[in-house]
Amino acid sequence: MKDKKENLFHKLGRWFTRMFMGPKYEEKMYQKSKAAEDGEKKPDDSELIVSPARQVLQRFLERKFAVISVAVVLIMFCVVFIGPSFMPKYYDSYTETTQKDLPPTMAFMRVPAELQGDIKMIDNYGSFTVGLSNSGKVYVWGITKIGATGLDVKHIPEEVQNAKIEWVSAGIDHIIAIDENGKFYGWGSNQFGQYAVTEKILSNPNLEPVPAEVLDGVDPDHIQEVTSGYQASAILMDDGTLYIWGNKQAYSNIESFIGRTDIEDVDFTLNYVVGLTDDRNGIYCGVRGLYNVARASIGDKGVKMFEFLDGRKIESLTSTTKSVCCLLDDGSIALVGDFPVDTIQVPKLAEGEYFTDIKGGAYHYTACTNLGHVYSWGGDHFYQAEAPTQKISGVTKVYTGSFQSYAVDENNQLLDKWGLKGYLFGTDDAGADIASRVVAGGRVTMTVGAIAVIIEILIGVTIGLISGYAGGAVDIVLMRVAEVFYSIPLYPFMLILSSLLAQVSMTQDQRLLMIMVILGVLGWPGFAYITRAQILVARESEYVTAAQAMGVKEGRIAFKHILPNIISVILVNIVLSFAASMQTETSLSFLGFGVMYPQPSWGNMLSRASNATAAINFWWQWLFTSFILVFTAVCINTIGDTIRDVMDPKSSNDK
Amino acid sequence: MGRYIAKRLIYMIFVFIVLTFLLFLLYQLMPANRAYTDAKAELAGLKNTLSAAEQDTKFQELYLKYQRRYGTDTDNKLILYLRWLGLYPFYDGKCNGIFQGNFGFSYQHNADVVTVVGPAIRNSMLIGLISEICVLGVTIPLGIKCAVKKGSRFDRGTQVFTLIGFSTPSFIIYILFIVFFCSILGWFPVSGMKTPGSTATGLKNALDVLHHVALPCICLTFGSLASIMRITRASMIDALSLDCIRTARAKGLKEKVVIYSHAWRNALVPLVSIFVGGFFGIISGAMIMETMFGFKGMGLLYLNAVKNADYDLIMFMQVIYTFIGLFSNLVSDLCYGLVDPRVRISK
């Protein structure tokens, strides 16, 4: 016992003492406990007498779980309230179709080591990326499991592994490949005829089957481009012949491209196929007026494509989900379509520098120039448009994933990659990152819990004080009022109130305030009862009699003399009802009557993942959120329990 | 005793009236106007040969007719409330409210609210009763054991579990159970009261219903286990530290007698209101559980009524809820008297 090492909890306890009571007290307390252990030096009697508050604190700090809980809750508070200022790119209503229901991963940019020095091409549309080496070997990385279908594109078919592949392309849930003999392969989902023809697909008018020419085999030497979109793919030959197939419901203008032989370039946005016909003076998509306004940089005033080109021709085009970028024959670019809010501007090139290769991701573009520099611009939500322009040079080829960019030099060596690594907690059914929603939702849940408790205290303690101290008729009336509120069935009433007030159109913050007020107004009787009961005891005690004898005003006695003496009991209830309010809010939001989507709260984040299929297939959508919710509640309840224990003089001797 | 009950009953009626009046005022804010929609519907059903002006007068006529039928031809909220209670006559001079047995008409279900609520209460009570008995069957012995062996390894282990269970919102427990029992083990169906299209009768039917009800029952039991367990243990510990227990032990009574007769009786006092509240709460249904399992009980009925603004049904169910709340308060106060002789005397 003598040389008992100071353990971590002890240390933490000392820190806390120091934090709240100052170094002097800490020293004293520490020495005292040491002295008690040593048993050599008997401390002064005067030192042993500590005020009840200090004694309580001292005993609280001896409980290691309680101290840990305090630390955890404080950290949780910091993360939730200060954290969001370090993650500026968060929007409540963020949705991303191609990133729905993705499991936790950090493998989006994990290019296989064998591929890194030998890149022939990289393609990506959704959650997985396919790469091809010069030796004709196919690699797949990222999230390869496709939703709840049980398919995994990582299982590359045997014949593809054995063949020497010349072209690959990835769609949202399928991969197509063509080998050196022109043989066509496909794997992944074939629900919409992405790569194989079946009876069912032929009979479905909404699906365009794979053309027979492609299935028979195309000449790989004459392929100009192989590209894939949401649930569709296209093969473009160098004579302008286009083979295109897939889900017509995803791409309504596929019809306009079938059987064309005058196409120079083709790509897929989220909803349209865009092409370049051989007159090269505009973007062809079969829809008049769409993609017809061009601009040189993001945010410029657009002009008609014909005027913008002014005699120049379009060399090639590449697309994101909502915009198209055209590379013109003088090396400049024309941007068409919409850009998201957090964009990075098109870079200004030096004199004599021009773009040689441009690739589009989901919202950003990455390009390399004749001088070997690499640039990115466009949507920057996951920092995918922040190219390391200064750091690398000698880039000859660039590839993009949805939110990733890869720069490759002339030796097919991967120079650098940047963008989205993955999602720590996965994504929800709208494609938003759960980790950042947990933080934002925690802020909502904790704020609601805290403010609801504050409202409860303000009403409950005041009424309890008045009623307990005044007594008589006032007491009876106030307690009857409290009883009326206490008799209101909580959930049904909150449901009806919240749906009633929802008729009034209100902003998110007003709605939040409304929930806090409802919780607070329905929860105060508990505090009133406790305060009143305590007051009834305290009113008879000597110090109150003394104060009365000295002629202190009644109000002053109630608030200045009695309240501080009963505050400890109230404190326990504050902590416990904070946890309870948080739980009520989550339950209410879970039922769809509290905080509404898109604003996140821990409750409504869980409600969408609560059905049997989602619960097992998309386990990450509820597991992390529930864990954090439960963990926080456990910590808060531990604190409350411990305070109650240490303040109870009866429980001082045992344990 | 009789005087006390009478006093309580009068007070209960007073609170009931105040509460229902407040709720009634609240529901008046709801944007549903039945007379208006019915008049519009009837007008649309008529042959459309009238001119615009004629249509307007016809509509006014119909609107008034429906307003009079539904008793909404006045803006006086008190009169509306009294009509709803059945204490103030309608336009035709007859009272037609709760006291006359007219609880309202559910538009969502196209039936009298009483016939809608009946099966829901039955379902809720079936499942609630089973789980409540299970909860008490587990928590009381366990709580007593933990309190008696306070500080032992068993107690501390149970404490950890109850703390976690107490801090976990019930729906997370339900999600876990659904994942474990439905998806991984595949033992129970996820929703419904019986196999769809099943025409089995007798024992087979009973087994089928039991199979469907089992998981919601288990979930409900586990959802409320922790909190009741905590309270039982805490009040038992308080009871065990009473002086009378020391006296009883000093007298040389058997430990069993001390615990179950002396201590438990004292521990019951704070528990009575919780147990009674639990039993009456069965009728209210378990909203979250019923939503998650699609179980057609009171909770789900109420939730859907709120979502569809089914005015009469909400109002009726709210009356039931309020009544249950007040009545269970009364019953638990009377039970105090049963448990604690001191309370009986002081009355």
A495 touches chain B (CB under 8 A): yes
B19 touches chain A (CB under 8 A): yes
Distance of residue B332 Cα from the nearest chain A Cα, in angstroms = 13
CATH of the domain at A236: 2.130.10.30
> What is the CA A51 to chain-centroid distance, rounded?
47
pLDDT score of A653? 41
Q: Per the domain annotation, does A60 fall within a domain?
A: no
A481-518 pLDDT, tens digit each: 888 888 777 788 888 887 777 777 778 888 888 889 98
pLDDT score of B328? 87
pLDDT score of A643? 86
Q: Are residues A10 and A140 in the same domain?
A: no
Least confident of A361-365, A378-382, B33-37, B174-178: B33-37
Q: Which two tokens stand for residue B337?
A: 């008297």
Q: Are residues A151 and A4 in the same domain?
A: no
Structure confidence at residue A636 as a pLDDT band (50, 70, 90): very high
Distance of residue B222 Cα from the nearest chain A Cα, in angstroms = 16
A376-403 pLDDT, tens digit each: 998 888 888 888 888 888 888 899 988 9
B270-305 pLDDT, tens digit each: 888 888 888 888 887 788 888 888 888 898 999 898
pTM of the predicted structure, to 2 decimals: 0.84
Closest residue, chain A, to B184 (C-alpha)? A616
pLDDT score of A652? 45
Structure confidence at residue B136 as a pLDDT band (50, 70, 90): very high
Q: Are residues A481 and A576 in the same domain?
A: yes
Going by C-alpha positions, the residue among B46, B69, B67 that lies closest to residue B58 is B46
pLDDT score of A39? 54
Closest residue, chain A, to B280 (C-alpha)? A489
pLDDT score of B335? 85
Distances (CA, A) of B177 to B170, B171, B172, B226, B285: 11, 10, 9, 16, 19
pLDDT score of B143? 92
Q: Find where tokens 């474990």 sit.
A: B180
- Residues from chain B that touch A480, judged by Cβ atoms under 8 A, are 15
pLDDT score of A32? 61
Going by C-alpha positions, the residue among A382, A418, A421, A423 that lies closest to residue A91 is A382
- Residues from chain B that touch A493, judged by Cβ atoms under 8 A, are 23, 318
CA dihedral B124, B125, B131, B132 (to 10 degrees): 130
Q: Are residues A251 and A108 in the same domain?
A: yes
Q: Which two tokens stand for residue B52?
A: 């615009």
pLDDT score of B137? 93
Q: What is the mean pLDDT of residues A288-317?
A: 86
Q: Are residues A7 and A108 in the same domain?
A: no
Whether residue A485 contacts residue A525, with contact meaning beta carbons closer than 8 Å, is answered with yes
The length of chain B in residues reads 347
Q: Per the domain annotation, does A136 fall within a domain?
A: yes
Q: Per the domain annotation, does A420 fall within a domain?
A: no
Q: Are residues A38 and A101 in the same domain?
A: no
Structure confidence at residue A97 as a pLDDT band (50, 70, 90): confident
pLDDT score of B194? 72
pLDDT score of B331? 87
B185 touches chain A (CB under 8 A): no
As for how many domains chain A has, the answer is 3
Q: Per the domain annotation, does A203 fall within a domain?
A: yes
Rounded to an integer, what distance in angstroms lies between the CA atom of residue A68 and that of residue A632? 12
Q: Are β-strands A207-208 and A184-188 bridged in parallel, bridged antiparallel, or unpaired?
A: unpaired
Whether the pLDDT of residue A468 is over 80: the answer is yes
Going by C-alpha positions, the residue among A447, A440, A353, A366 that lies closest to residue A402 is A366
Environment class of A566 (CB within 10 Å of its CB; exposed 0-12, middle 13-18, buried 19+): buried
Give the rounded percent of residues in chain A with a pLDDT score beyond 90: 21
A630 touches chain B (CB under 8 A): yes
Whether residue A190 contacts residue A157, with contact meaning beta carbons closer than 8 Å, is answered with no
Q: Which two tokens stand for residue A97?
A: 């179709």
Q: Are residues A10 and A116 in the same domain?
A: no
Q: What is the mean pLDDT of residues B19-27?
A: 84
Residues with Cβ within 8 Å of A307's Cβ and at least 6 positions away in sequence, in order, are none
Q: Are residues A35 and A123 in the same domain?
A: no
Domain boundary (A220, A246, A261) is at A261
Q: Which ipTM did the prediction report?
A: 0.85
Rounded to an integer, what distance in angstroms lies between the CA atom of residue A222 and that of residue A240? 10
Going by C-alpha positions, the residue among B58, B118, B318 that lies closest to residue A493 is B318
A430-440 pLDDT, tens digit each: 888 899 999 99
Q: Are residues A104 and A35 in the same domain?
A: no
Domain boundary (A232, A261, A290) is at A261
Report chain A's mean pLDDT, rounded to a whole number: 85
Q: Per the domain annotation, does A499 fall within a domain?
A: yes
Rounded to an integer, what distance in angstroms lies between the CA atom of residue A634 and that of residue A464? 29
Rounded to an integer, what distance in angstroms lies between the CA atom of residue B123 and that of residue A177? 57
Give the rounded percent of residues in chain B with a pLDDT score beyond 70: 97
Q: Are residues A443 and A562 in the same domain?
A: yes
Of A236-250, A286-300, B55-69, B267-281, give the range with the top mean pLDDT.
Answer: A236-250
B68-78 pLDDT, tens digit each: 877 777 778 88
Of the candidates B292, B306, B309, which has its C-beta nearest A495's C-beta? B306
Total Cβ atoms within 10 A of residue A334: 23
pLDDT score of A3? 46
CATH of the domain at A459: 1.10.3720.10
Contact B291 A591 (CB under 8 A): yes
Give the rounded percent of residues in chain B with a pLDDT score beyond 90: 12
Report chain B's mean pLDDT, rounded to a whole number: 84
- Residues from chain A that touch B183, judged by Cβ atoms under 8 A, are 612, 615-616
pLDDT score of A598? 86
B210 touches chain A (CB under 8 A): no
Contact A587 B321 (CB under 8 A): no
Q: Per the domain annotation, does A2 fall within a domain?
A: yes
User: A326: which strand partners?
Assistant: A317, A334
Distance of residue A615 Cα from the nearest chain B Cα, in angstroms = 6
Least confident of A250-254, A545-549, A649-653: A649-653
Q: Are residues A42 and A134 in the same domain?
A: no
Distance of residue B119 Cα from the nearest chain A Cα, in angstroms = 19
Residue A7 domain boundaries:
1-50
Q: Find where tokens 């098109």 sit.
A: A346
- Residues from chain A that touch B324, judged by Cβ atoms under 8 A, are 489
Domain boundary (A261, A294, A312) is at A261
Q: Which two tokens stand for residue B182?
A: 């439905």
Rounded to an integer, what distance in angstroms lies between the CA atom of residue A203 and that of residue B45? 43
Structure confidence at residue A628 as a pLDDT band (50, 70, 90): very high
Whether the pLDDT of residue A649 is over 70: the answer is no
Q: Identify how many contiguous H helices and E strands chain B contains and give both numbers.
A: 15, 2
Q: Per the domain annotation, does A377 fall within a domain?
A: no
Q: Per the domain annotation, does A214 fall within a domain?
A: yes
Structure confidence at residue B321 as a pLDDT band (50, 70, 90): confident
Rounded to an integer, what distance in angstroms lies between the CA atom of residue B249 and that of residue B255? 7
Whether residue A230 contacts residue A248, with contact meaning beta carbons closer than 8 Å, is answered with no
Q: Are residues A101 and A203 in the same domain?
A: yes
Q: What is the 3-state secondary structure (H, E, C) of A29-46?
A: HHHHHHHHHHCCCCCCHH
B169-201 pLDDT, tens digit each: 888 998 888 888 888 888 888 777 777 777 777
Whether the pLDDT of residue B98 is over 60: the answer is yes
